[in-house]
Amino acid sequence: MSKALFDFIKKNKIEFIDLRFTDILGTNHHVTLPAHKFKPDMLKDGKPFDGSSIRGWKGIENSDTILVPDPAAHFIDPFREAPTLNIVCDVYNTDGSAYNRDPRGLARRAEQALRKSGVADTAYFGPELEFFVFDEISWEVGMGRSFYEIKSIEAAWDTSNPETNIGHRPGVKGGYFPVPPTDSLADLRAEICQVCTKAGMEVEVHHHEVATAGQCEIGTRLGQAVERADDSQKFKYIAKNVAYENGKILTFMPKPLAGDNGTGMHVHQSLVKKGRNVFQGNKYGGLSQTALHYIGGILKHARAINAFTNPTTNSYKRLIPGFEAPTILGFSAHNRSVSIRIPHTADASQRRCEVRFPDAAANPYLAFPAMLAAGLDGIKNKIDPGKPMDKNMYEISEREALRLPQVSATLNDALVALDKDRKFLTASGIFDDDLIDTYIDLKIDESKMFRSSPHPIEFDLYFGC
């Protein structure tokens, strides 16, 4: 494989090698080398760097860390003037052991744990990444003034602006599947799809989503945990840069708009053993008993999983009733109002479940393994998912909803749940306590910042006290 990589570099006249890795919070980092400095022994010995400069990683007293390029995970950067090859890396300690806080290494452990379990040899994940595209964004957080302002040619609130009002724009919750000119972003999405295809990703669909002001979705093929997490990071990089080059601003923030739908990341999942889909069966929704137990595990551990699948304070502004967000912990065939859906498929071999509460702010190297670990715990302990919820849960009252199991209500709730319910993550050796504790500490800091800052709505509610 190393020979193929260097032949590729030579054939495409690559001038720079961009080594990429992802930290515990999901941020992508890179360091760039001239191509002539990239030698075959680097695939074994790696490139040293200062791990203490990455948030949540090593202390300065033990900071040496090694980036080891994966020759199977590379693509030509579409945005650099000089021919540049981006290569995804795993992170190691100087003694050659895998660094335990490297999320990509954790995803590798998840794949190994699945094979060791004997349940299946392959887990497939198919995330649907949604996002918003705006024309301008500004904000300020200060002691005496805080605000944010969003401008969009599609904004329902901005119809009086003669500079942007083109007479065709989605209303609130009116953005699902309109044709141009109401869908002003069709060409932008098509360009993102074209660049993704050139970078080795298989695109399946793109369309406008429900919300006003530029909510979109692009669907790409499913894949195994490490491969699909790599592709999710690649997709985010490509989408943001295509938008940037077109004078737009693209965000995967779950709930940037008050009063309209937020953006999620529904994740389709299935397990395969020796080429056969083990989720295929004759139980409810055409699922096997194994699949139902997998669903049971995710439902049981959902509130802890939320810490990884919904990792921001903003995530929980999406997970509220009234905006098509799946807050009720249940499952159903076809029903999109519960947290786990069994999608219709004409081909029984494609049977799968779709977990609908995650959002695209998640670190995919942590989110996919967390769901897999919960599902495997469900299979191991034969966890009953309960009766399917075929009723439209969006139509029940909030008082009725309180009687039903729900996802975490805040990031802090999710962190408390993760701290208490972690054995399903550590038992299989996928996660360890050090990574979980570090992650919780980092996220507690974010939660404190949010809870200690006044919000404009509080002035509406309480200033006259």
Residues placed in the known binding site for Mg(2+)? 128, 130, 209, 217, 266, 354
**449 three-class SS:** helix
Question: Residues comprising the binding site?
Answer: 128, 130, 204, 209, 217, 261-262, 266, 268-270, 318, 324, 336, 354, 356
Q: Is 217 a catalytic residue?
A: yes
Contact 158, 259 (CB under 8 A): no
**7 three-class SS:** helix
List Cβ neighbours of 334 (8 Å cut-off, separation of 6 or more): 341, 342, 343, 344
For β-strands 64-76 and 84-92, DSSP reports them as antiparallel
Contact 399, 279 (CB under 8 A): no
Q: Is 191 a catalytic residue?
A: no
Give me the amino acid identity at 56.
G
Q: What is the dihedral of CA 300, 303, 304, 305, to 10 degrees?
A: 90
Q: Is 202 a catalytic residue?
A: no
Neighbour count for residue 393 (Cβ, 10 Å)? 21
Handedness of CA 353, 358, 360, 363 (dihedral sign): negative
Half-sphere exposure of 354 (CA within 13 A, CB side): 24
Q: Is 128 a catalytic residue?
A: yes
Among residues 90, 217, 230, 359, which one is catalytic? Answer: 217
- Neighbour-count burial of 13, counting CB atoms closer than 10 A to its CB (0-12 exposed, 13-18 middle, 19+ buried): exposed
Q: Is 446 a catalytic residue?
A: no
Q: Is 50 a catalytic residue?
A: yes
Q: Is 356 a catalytic residue?
A: yes
Contact 359, 310 (CB under 8 A): yes
Q: Is 81 a catalytic residue?
A: no
Q: Is 130 a catalytic residue?
A: yes
Among residues 101, 104, 266, 351, which one is catalytic? Answer: 266
Query: Would you put residue 241 in left (φ > 0), alpha (ψ -120 to 50) or beta?
Result: alpha
> What tokens were used for 442?
């980092």
Among residues 206, 341, 356, 422, which one is catalytic? Answer: 356
Question: Residues comprising the binding site for ATP?
Answer: 204, 268-270, 336
Among residues 15, 336, 419, 432, which one is catalytic? Answer: 336
For β-strands 84-92 and 16-22, DSSP reports them as parallel
Q: How far apart are the first and last CA of the chain?
A: 69
- Neighbour-count burial of 321, counting CB atoms closer than 10 A to its CB (0-12 exposed, 13-18 middle, 19+ buried): middle
> What tokens were used for 32?
């760039």
Question: Residues comprising the binding site for L-glutamate?
Answer: 261-262, 318, 324, 336, 356
Instruction: Tell me which residues are annotated as active site.
Output: 50, 128, 130, 209, 217, 266, 336, 354, 356
